[in-house]
Chains A and B, each alone.
Chain A
Amino acid sequence: LAKTTQPISMDSYEGQEVNITCSHNNIATNDYITWYQQFPSQGPRFIIQGYKTKVTNEVASLFIPADRKSSTLSLPRVSLSDTAVYYCLVGDRNAGNMLTFGGGTRLMVKP
Chain B
Amino acid sequence: NAGVTQTPKFRILKIGQSMTLQCTQDMNHNYMYWYRQDPGMGLKLIYYSVGAGITDKGEVPNGYNVSRSTTEDFPLRLELAAPSQTSVYFCASRVGLHSYEQYFGPGTRLTVT
Contacts and interface: CB of A to CB of B under 8 A. Distances in A.
Given A87-B42, A99-B45, A102-B42, A46 B35 contact: no
A99 B33 contact: yes
Among all A-B residue pairs, the 10 with the closest Cβ atoms: A43-B104, A34-B100, A101-B43, A103-B42, A43-B90, A46-B101, A101-B42, A104-B42, A1-B59, A100-B45
A30 interface: yes
Interface in B74-103: 88, 90, 92, 94, 97-103
Interface residues of B, number: 28
What bracket does the count of chain A residues touching chain B fall in? 20 to 34
Residue among A36, A87, A90 having the largest count of chain B Cβ atoms under 10 Å: A36
Contacts of A66: none
A98 B42 contact: no
